[in-house]
Structure 1
């Protein structure tokens, strides 16, 4: 639904006023999104590029595949592919990673179902993995030709189903998606695009259920992708988890420190399993009584200021600071409640992340293969507050937290690390439901 190169005043003429979906929503004129806009509830293309620059981030762009389905021009697939290729040209090599469409297999996605009376290239009413694969090859050809014109190399991902779908309510389009796609276009795909919301859909899941999914579901995805490569005799592709969060609702789980712990485990497991990237959904959304996936409050959460960071921000902030470049093997104990991840920095220092997902304190005896420290180590410990039962809306960093109803310390950079001299193995106590971020010299 996003047209990167135009504005509301110049709505594309080959986009129907009403776009169909596969779910039961009421038909109404469709709201499109535009790259040229000053609408505060949207994000202009220029502001997107500015955000990437100011945060020193690597962007990944999802192009409008659905336009290839609902477009009413004589050649809708070619028109949509050309629109994507023009974006590659405009981008001028800033972006290396592109993906074709979003959750195209979903009933909630534009293009899942089309009005065939308005379609001019004889497409079927309903999408399929095979059809998506046929269209994907057109996009790949157009976009890579555009990249070649500007002396740039790009990599294009295809949206796949992340795990085997076996439940009765999961329809044939979803169940057969990967088969049709990989048989049709498997060799044209540079990497696989996965989405996961880990926990059971809209259940009031406990901390234990939520935290356990971070490991089990990540391993399930990785194993399934390996199995697909074997079945379809394709090389193993890099994996990009371009949306992830939790679906738990009912106790403000999404806005809690437990979701922060979950994020830390997911990042550690993704590193261990050699995923290529992960981009969390999302920066800001809607509070929805504490069921908000947003990392920051966009102004509708009571008792906190605009853009107040949620606990998950702090868990990911410290993970980014304390996790190095070279993955190492880490051993702590045989206790299933303790997880540990470590990676060495280029300067020789080592960062480690230790998670106690149990409800009792644990003494951590850290053993990292191939690394011996003889100097000091520095530590930040993150845990929840005493509000909202098991799902505190606050995070404490070395005992420091916020004066507001939710969130964490105002400036984490000002919080001093705990430190100790290494006299042998690194040993410390980990509190219940806590994460320790550790750096050794």
Structure 2
């Protein structure tokens, strides 16, 4: 009887407690594990270093795959990543996925498979006409104008054949200007164009700066509003550019033999003014023109032009540049660097670069403006590093660090180049690689393809513990999913626990895993994606776009395995 009374009293107390909760009019009920409080996302202010590169931002959603390979997730983990869905670091500008076209890569537009692969890659931005050849490029000609000398002056003062390039050359071995515009249209891309600054220096007319300004402005007119982003000259701080040293005997406006940052700034203002006037005349009211900066502390052995460039440029530019152009090839020049050394450079070098560049602007009382890292790759040579799976992992790390450091535009160098026994920056083979057809994607292509596929439209906070030599970049899609990009730099695999804060985990997670093969030591020229590899001696699977992801239900958590030296791309559904 005593037990019955106690049970009855307990039931009454529970009922009273329940009634008390129902009568509570609080708008913030006590959460339960099934109904946690979710903090909403709030977009931060746009960083000055991104600026207008976010003007064309669009939301991104991902339809969950219905065709997948069921796989298990690890139950035991040795490292934890904590993702905060609510903490948005930045919206993601689509301009970070860019690439470079150059004039010796052929028409490209006639290779339908290549065009399809570039379209799938979604670079969004393709720079043209190339690096140093931009400063010897005459976009509207088939032959050099009379005011362009037949010989130019090298850094050491000796003469060299001019080697000009022409936009109206329609040979199959090159890409004409109109071919470039066709490539942009066919791949749903926009341009970033480097105009010929060298002509302002070596031109033999009465006013070579005005001649160069007219050449650039006429291009803006011909472009007719198709291109928003332009820059004046390529790496013009350096002694390898055509603008560095001129034959003063041929110069008619009193320019010094050697270039310096102040002179470039004065010329920049004249050329940019002409370009902006031409843009206004064709209705291109949002044209942006970039000036070239040095991206890190100059070495002691470089010429004074290089050493003093930023100070002389930035104390004379008077706010005329809309953004600043920087390049970086991350590893030491022409050294046979091992994989471990290469993979450590993106995080360190990108952070140091942006700290340096911002401090240079601040020290000269300039506003912080957007940055375009429109050439990046590695300089390592000797072991086919540039065409390897490792360089693909490096590309993922670069894209992640570009986002973390809030760089507005990035463009990899380049779409196609020259084999040179594997010292080849090309994202695609240019037809000179043994037993590999022209246009075949290199490992970096696949890493970059899956990075953009599973990277959302906002970068969100992801913190890892001290265990494991890997990096992680987290994002959110506008439809609520979470996207993750992992790079395991270690030579051993690791199991990761993914902890998601301010996020209701949905039913399934999906992922792609990219590893190298056993060829060529640690610099495999192949990639294997979810177990599928290439049929050729290099590259990846041709059916990459239709490969099924691995998938698992999240009932046992959202853990993931990172194989040794791998990139892994994950999407997690929202409840």
Report the counterpart of residue 357 of structure 1 in structure 2: 489
Q: Deviation at 1:369? A: 4.7
Q: Deviation at 1:326? A: 1.0
Report the counterpart of residue 285 of structure 1 in structure 2: 417
Answer yes or no: is 1:320 the counterpart of 2:455: no
Q: Equivalent of 1:241, from 373, 379, 384?
A: 373
Distance 1:177 1:419 in 2: 52
Answer yes or no: is 1:122 the counterpart of 2:254: yes
Per-residue Cα deviation, 1:44-93 (whole angstroms, up to 9, x for no partner): 01110011111111210000011000000001001101111111111111
Report the counterpart of residue 390 of structure 2 in structure 1: 258
Distance 1:143 1:367 in 2: 51
Answer yes or no: is 1:198 the counterpart of 2:330: yes
Q: Equivalent of 1:162, from 275, 295, 303?
A: 295
Matches within 5 A, 1:39-438: 39-152=171-284, 153-165=286-298, 167-335=299-467, 337-423=469-555, 425-438=557-570
Per the alignment, in what secondary structure is the counterpart of residue 279 of structure 1?
strand
TM-score normalised to the size of structure 1? 0.97
Q: Is the 8 A contact 2:427 2:444 kept in 1?
A: yes
Distance 1:386 1:231 in 2: 50
Task: Indicate the structure (1 or 2) with the bigger Cα radius of gyration.
Answer: 2
Aligned residue pairs total 437
Question: Relative to 1, partners in 2 of residues 1:195 and 1:336: Cα closer, same or farther, differing over 3 Å?
Answer: farther
Q: Is the 8 A contact 2:314 2:361 kept in 1?
A: no
Per-residue Cα deviation, 1:189-233 (whole angstroms, up to 9, x for no partner): 111100000001111101111000011111111111221122112
Higher relative contact order (CA 8 A, sep 6+): 2
Deviates more, 1:362-371 or 1:350-359: 362-371
Q: Deviation at 1:142? A: 0.8
Per the alignment, in what secondary structure is the counterpart of residue 240 of structure 1?
strand
Superposition RMSD in Å? 1.3
Answer yes or no: is 1:29 the counterpart of 2:161: yes
Q: Is the 8 A contact 1:3 1:34 kept in 2?
A: yes
Q: Is the 8 A contact 2:325 2:372 kept in 1?
A: yes
Q: Deviation at 1:331? A: 2.5
Report the counterpart of residue 5 of structure 1 in structure 2: 140
TM-score normalised to the size of structure 2? 0.74
Deviates more, 1:152-161 or 1:26-35: 26-35
Q: Is the 8 A contact 1:331 1:367 kept in 2?
A: no
Q: Is the 8 A contact 1:23 1:108 kept in 2?
A: no
Q: Is the 8 A contact 2:154 2:160 kept in 1?
A: no
Distance 1:245 1:372 in 2: 38
Question: Relative to 1, partners in 2 of residues 1:259 and 1:38: Cα closer, same or farther, differing over 3 Å?
Answer: same
Distance 2:178 2:522 in 1: 42
Distance 1:268 1:276 in 2: 13
Q: Deviation at 1:109? A: 0.7
Q: Deviation at 1:415? A: 1.1
Distance 1:422 1:234 in 2: 50
Q: Is the 8 A contact 2:387 2:443 kept in 1?
A: yes
Q: Give unmatched runs, 5+ long, in structure 2.
A: 1-135
Distance 2:178 2:503 in 1: 45
Question: Relative to 1, partners in 2 of residues 1:411 and 1:78: Cα closer, same or farther, differing over 3 Å?
Answer: same
Question: Relative to 1, partners in 2 of residues 1:161 and 1:369: Cα closer, same or farther, differing over 3 Å?
Answer: farther
Per-residue Cα deviation, 1:269-311 (whole angstroms, up to 9, x for no partner): 1011110011110111110011101111111111222211110
Q: Is the 8 A contact 2:468 2:494 kept in 1?
A: no
Q: Is the 8 A contact 1:191 1:240 kept in 2?
A: yes
Distance 2:209 2:148 in 1: 13
